[in-house]
Structure 1
C-alpha cells in the first residue's frame, strides 16, 4: 500500500469510528487498531486525533463546497440551479452518511470549541450556497418573496431528519434501512421528489406565470 493509499485508508477508518463513537469516544489507540496501524503513524500523518478529525471533515466538506459553488456559478434559471444543488447535496449526504453523522454529532453538542466552530463555519458555507441561489431567484422574480432563511432550514431539516433519524424515519416511511439498497432505490429518490415538488409549489412566482 502506497503512502497516499495508507493515509486514505486511515481517513476512511477514522470516519466510520468517529461517526459511531464520537470524537470523545474514539481514542487514538482504538483508531489505530481499527485502521491496522500504530499510533505513531497517525501522529506522523495528522499530528494528533484532533488533526485526524479535521482532515476527515476537510476532505468531505471542501469537495462538497466545490461542487455546490460550481452549480451556483452556472448560467441557469434559479429553479434549475436550485434543483441541481439539491441533487448534489442529497447524493453526497446519503452516500457519505458516516461523515454527516460526525458533523451532526459534533455541532449538536452545546460545548463551544475551536473544532466545533471550524465545523460550523465550513457547514455554513455549504448551506449559504442554497441561501444565495434562492435569494437570487427572489431578486430576479423567478421565485416569489419568501423567508429565504426558513426555506433553507426546511430543506436541510428534511434531508437531515430522514437520513439521520433512521429509527423514526424508517417507521414513518415504512422502509427498512438494514437493506443495503434501500437508500439508493427508495430514500434518496423520495427525498428528491418531495423537495422538488415542495419547492416548486412554494417558490413559484404565480404573478410571473400570468404575464
Structure 2
C-alpha cells in the first residue's frame, strides 16, 4: 500500500485502529474490535486493508507521509546548515508529539521483530529521512561548519531517544517540573525540551571553539 487513496471511511478506520493499537497493543486488538469501534462492517475493514498487518502498514504511512515531505523540502530551503538542523529537530519533535499513539505502537512492534515485513514501508521511510539528514549534514561539512567525524545515523536516535525517555517518564517529569496541565506539558516539550535537544545536536555537530 505505498499510495492508497484515502476516503473518509478509511481515515475513520485508521483513526480508530491507532487508538486501539496504542491502548491495547497490536496483538490485543482484533479487526472485529476495530470494526465495532469504527461502526463499520467487519467485511468492509477487510476489503479496504486485507489484514491487520496491512492495516498497520497503512496507518504508518498515513501518519508519517507529511514528515517525509517536510524533511525533504527542508534540504532545499535557503537556510544556514545549523538552522536546517534546528528546524529538523522541531519537525521531528512536533510530529512525534502529535502522533504519540502511532510512535508508541511502532516502538513496541519494532522491538518485537514479529512484523518486519509489514514494517518494511516504515524502514524505507526511515532510510529516505536519513538520506535527507545526510545531505543537510554533508552541506554543513563541505562549508567547514560541521565536524567530519559525525556519526550521521546516530543523530535521529539521539533526538528520538531523548523525547521518548521524557515521554515514557511523563508523570515523573510532570511532578519534577510542575507541569500539572497537558498544556504546560506540551509547551515544555515545544520550548524547553526541543531547545535542549537542539543544543545537544549542535554540540555533536559543531567544532569546539
Among residues 162, 166, 169, which one is paired with 2:166 in the alignment? 162
Between 1:31-40 and 1:120-129, the stretch displaced more is 120-129
Does the 8 A contact of 1:162 with 1:169 survive in 2? yes
CA offset digits 1:56-86 (Å, max 9, x no partner): 1111122110111011222321101111111
Among residues 57, 60, 65, which one is paired with 2:60 in the alignment? 57
Q: Distance in 1 between matches of 2:166 and 2:131?
A: 21
**TM superposition score normalised by structure 1:** 0.83
Does the 8 A contact of 1:144 with 1:204 survive in 2? yes
**TM superposition score normalised by structure 2:** 0.83
Gapped regions of structure 1 (runs ≥ 5): none
Give me the CA root mean square deviation: 2.4
Q: Distance in 2 between matches of 1:152 and 1:54?
A: 21
Between 1:129-138 and 1:73-82, the stretch displaced more is 129-138
CA offset digits 1:106-164 (Å, max 9, x no partner): 11114363113333332343244334322331232111234323344322221232234
- Residue 193 of structure 1 aligns with which residue? 195
1:94 lines up with 2:97 in the alignment: yes
1:203 lines up with 2:205 in the alignment: yes
Gapped regions of structure 2 (runs ≥ 5): 1-5
Structure 1 segments (4+ residues) deviating >4 Å: 167-174
1:38 lines up with 2:38 in the alignment: no
CA offset digits 1:30-66 (Å, max 9, x no partner): 1111112220121122222222211111111221101
Q: Distance in 1 between matches of 2:122 and 2:22?
A: 14
